[in-house]
Amino acid sequence: MSINRVNISGNLTRDPEIRATQGGTQVMSFGVAVNDRRRNPQTGEWEDYPNFVDCTMFGTRAEALSRFLSKGMKVAIEGKLRYSSWERDGQRRSKLEVIVDEIEFLTPRNQQGQGGYQPQGGYQQGGYAPQAPAPQQGGYMPQVAPQPAAPQPAPVSAPPAVDVYDEDIPF
C-alpha cells in the first residue's frame, strides 16, 4: 500500500489561470512558493531556498475560488501528487504537480493582493462583525448598537510533567 498525500503552505507566485476541458470541466492552475531552510556552508547562516510547486484544481470549486485568489496570497493546500510526461520538439519533458483537494486562505482578508476579496467590516474574536459606516458630511449618521463583549475563556492549567524520553517510544 502507498499513500499519496501532500500538505504545503506558501505564497501564490502568480494569479490563477482558469480554463475548461472539452468536456466542460473547469481547471484552475496556479503556482505556490514554499521555502526550505538550509544552513549556508560558507557563512553558517540559515537561508531560505524557494521551491516552486505547480498546483491544479478541477471542478466548479476551481472556478469559484479563482475569483478569491491572487498573486502573493498565503495559502495552505492539501492534495495529491501527479506525475505527467510528454514529448515536445523531440525532447522528453515531465513535471510533478499537486492536484488540490482542499485550499485554505492564510492571508488576512484586509491584506490580500489586488483582485482579492475585501469585505466591508473586519474579523473580530468570536466571529465576523460588520463595522460602522464612515460618517457622511452633513447627513444622517446611523447609530450602531455596541457589540457585547466576547466571553473570556476559562484559564488553562499547565499539564503535569511527564518523564518520557525518545528511548521510551517504541518506534
User: Residue 29 maps to which CATH number?
Assistant: 2.40.50.140
| 79 within a domain of the structure (yes/no) | yes
| Lookup: cell for 89 | 520538439
| 164 within a domain of the structure (yes/no) | no
Q: Is the pLDDT of residue 6 over 80?
A: yes
| 135 within a domain of the structure (yes/no) | no
| 136 within a domain of the structure (yes/no) | no
| 125 within a domain of the structure (yes/no) | no
Query: DSSP string of 136-160?
Result: PTTS-----PPPPPPPPPPP-PPPP
Assess contact for 96 and 90: CB atoms under 8 A: no
Q: Is the pLDDT of residue 155 over 80?
A: no
Query: pLDDT at position 121, please?
Result: 39
Domain that holds residue 14: 6-38+46-111
* pTM (whole model) above 0.85: no
| 126 within a domain of the structure (yes/no) | no
Taken as a whole, the chain contains a residue count of 171
Domain count, the chain: 1
What are the pLDDT digits (tens) for 26-79?
Answer: 999 999 999 999 999 999 999 999 999 999 999 999 989 998 999 999 999 999
| 76 within a domain of the structure (yes/no) | yes
| 13 within a domain of the structure (yes/no) | yes
